[in-house]
Structures are given as structure tokens and as C-alpha cells.
Amino acid sequence: MTIVDHRILIPRPPGLVWEFISDLNRNPEWIVDCTRIAFVTPRHSGVGVRWRHTTERGKDVVLETTAWYDGLGYEYTFVDGAPYKESKGRVRLQETPEGTVVQWTFTYETGGLLANVKNAVSDRRRIDSQIVDSLKNLWRATGKLGGEAGYAARSLMRDAPDYEARSQYKPRHGHSRMETQETLPVSPLVIEEPPVKQEDTRPRPAIQISADQGEPPFLSDLKVANPGSAMADSEVSAPPIIEKLPVTASLASTAPLPEVPMGSSQPVEIDPALSVKDTAEVSVFDLFGIPRPSQTQQMAAITAEVEEAIMAAESASKVEDNLAAPAASTLFTPTDVLTVPIKPVVVTGSRAGYRKSKRRQRIRLRLPS
């Protein structure tokens, strides 16, 4: 698939450019190699419209619209008469602050034995020049048209509206509910306030309470539940000081505590020497009467298994040593090997002796008699 894409900026509003492009009868005014247009379908706009396009050489091709977007563009394809196996064209409009950008994209695939060679040599260059010249003609044709009075692109940056502009703003598209809903009269909110007097602004004298007046009546209802238990601030005693008792039993000398089954209600007897509440000197296990992790049944079972494995390994090593001892006594020592006399090895061969005897016979025959 070959793609040819070009675009041009036209300093005209999108509505004016679309009005000119959407009228297919005006294609000969700006499309290159187009002399006449004849519609095949009764409709002249929208999806499915077909028209006959006559070239300058007098050849007719039939085109059809496959997509139509009002104000944005349309898509078309060649149906008959064109040397394209597949084709798709698109004319698209885009609004910018400077005007309207018209983009023309054409995608095609040629058929035949030497299609790629022909496309590279002539077809692509011809289509590219036709689209460029057509966009230039469109720029000239739309330039002759009159622009809209007071037009401004919606994509331009504008200042924020002031108070008067916001008060006079009217939406372009009214809401259906706002048009049908009846407006009910709204009564203004009135707040009733007492009249202002001169005495309200004058300072009032301070209230003075005499000494013989007594306490207010609402304080008489507040009675202490137990007056005897109330204590004055001076009678509050300081907390007792707990003296640190000497520790008579060390952690290393403490005997293991008896295991107490779970759920038993029997109290645990604790050594009086361990009554010190300081965990820096007394173990937590001894303080609360909890068996140590090394004294639990699970740990004892693991320790017994480890000891059995060690004893089995030691017994196996002893058995191997006993079996290896007599075998080692039968071996020759290096000194015994050196004392054995070494005899030369004589290699005898019947073939070597036969050759030597024959050679000697030849030598004897050659000697003079």
C-alpha cells in the first residue's frame, strides 16, 4: 500500500471551506485532471453517493463516498475505471487560530505484473503532483469567496469575560427542560429584627456580690456522696517507695521448675528469692513460673534424637576402623617393594630372528671365497 499525504492552510473559516468542498459539482473548479462531473445516484451528498469523473484525456472513472461528516470531511474510493486494486481517499478539515487546515490523504495499491515498478517510476509522482496542485487551486478558489463578518476561531485564546459579558451571556443550545419548566415566583427572604434602642449601646454596670449573700442556690444541690472519704490536698500521701531486695539466687543456680499441665488450677509455688520484680536480674520464666523452651517436651524429644544420631555415627565409625585394620596389615610397604630385585624383560619374537638369519646368509654369499 502506497500513502500520499498533503495539507494546506487556508485563511478562511471551516464553514466556508466545507461549503465549497461538500458541493461535488464544483470539483472541476479546484481538482486537477477533472473536466466534468455527472452523478450516478439521485443524492448529491452523504454516504453512498456515486459520480462519474471525466479526466482531461476523456477517460471516465466512477467514485463513491464511504464516509461523510458534515463540517469535517468525507472519504471516497474508486469503484470503476481506475488502475487501482484497492484505493481510499480522505479529505479532512481542521480548525486552527489562523484558519482551516485541509488535509488530503490517498492510499492505493496498483495491480499487474510490473505494478511496483510502474508505481515507483510514474504513478506515485503523478498522484503526488495532482494532489499538491489541487490544494493550491482550492486555496485560490476559497480566497475569492467572502468571509463571515465578525468571525473568530473558537480555538483562539481569549480574555476571561467580565461581569457585564457574563450577565448578558446566552447559551447557543437551550435546554429542553429550561424551556418547558414554568418559573415560579420567588418571595424575598425577610428577617425580622427587634428595633434598636439607645440602651443597647450603653455600657452596663458590673454585678457585685456581697459577702453575706451566701453561695448561689444551684451550688447547694451539689453534694458529696461520701464526705468522709474526701481528703484535703495537704493530706494526700506520696506513693510508697519499694525498696530493692537483694537477689540471693542466680540464674545459673536456679533449678528447673516443675512442668504444670495446661488447664490445671493448682497454684505454682515460686521461690521467695525470686520475688524481685526486676527482669534484669531475674528471668521472666522464673518470675512467672513458666518452663523454659529447653525444658519443654518437644525440645527434649529433639535433643534425644540429636544425641541418638551422634551415637549412631560414632559407632559406625568405630566399626569401619576395625574392618580396615586387618586389610591394612596385608599390604606391601614401600620398603618391601624396593628390596625385590628387578629382572630385565627379554622380548622374543620369531619374525625378528628369521629376518636376521636371512640377512646373515646374504652377507656370507657376497663375501669373496
Residues whose CB falls within 8 Å of the CB of residue 37, separated by 6 or more in sequence, listed in order: 24, 25, 27, 28, 51, 52, 53, 54
Residues whose CB falls within 8 Å of the CB of residue 33, separated by 6 or more in sequence, listed in order: 55, 56, 130
Q: How does the average pLDDT of the chain come out, rounded?
A: 75
Q: Which of 11-20, 139-148, 224-233 has the lowest mean pLDDT?
A: 224-233
- Asked if 264 and 228 touch (Cβ cutoff 8 Å), the reply is no
- Asked if 11 and 151 touch (Cβ cutoff 8 Å), the reply is no
Per DSSP, helices labelled H in the chain are: 14-22, 27-30, 115-118, 124-143, 163-167, 176-180, 217-220, 284-288, 297-329, 334-339, 350-366
List the beta bridge partners of residue 62: 52, 80
Residues whose CB falls within 8 Å of the CB of residue 320, separated by 6 or more in sequence, listed in order: none
Tens of pLDDT, residue by residue over 109-120, are: 888 778 788 888
- The Cα–Cα gap between 94 and 99 comes to 9
Per the listing, cell 496542485 goes with 133
pLDDT at 55 over 80: yes
Q: Give the pLDDT confidence score for residue 102 in this predicted structure.
A: 95
Q: Give the pLDDT confidence score for residue 39 in this predicted structure.
A: 94
- The CATH fold of domain 2-143: Alpha-D-Glucose-1,6-Bisphosphate; Chain A, domain 4 (3.30.530)
- Asked if 66 and 86 touch (Cβ cutoff 8 Å), the reply is no
Tens of pLDDT, residue by residue over 318-343, are: 777 777 665 544 544 444 444 445 55
Q: What are residue 82's phi and psi, to 5 degrees?
A: -105, 145
Tens of pLDDT, residue by residue over 138-170, are: 999 988 876 654 456 666 667 788 888 888 888
Tens of pLDDT, residue by residue over 203-227, are: 888 877 776 766 767 776 665 544 4
Q: Give the pLDDT confidence score for residue 280 in this predicted structure.
A: 66
H or E stretch including 103?
A: strand 99-110
Write down the pTM of the prediction: 0.43
Tens of pLDDT, residue by residue over 74-115, are: 999 999 988 888 999 999 999 888 889 999 999 998 887 787
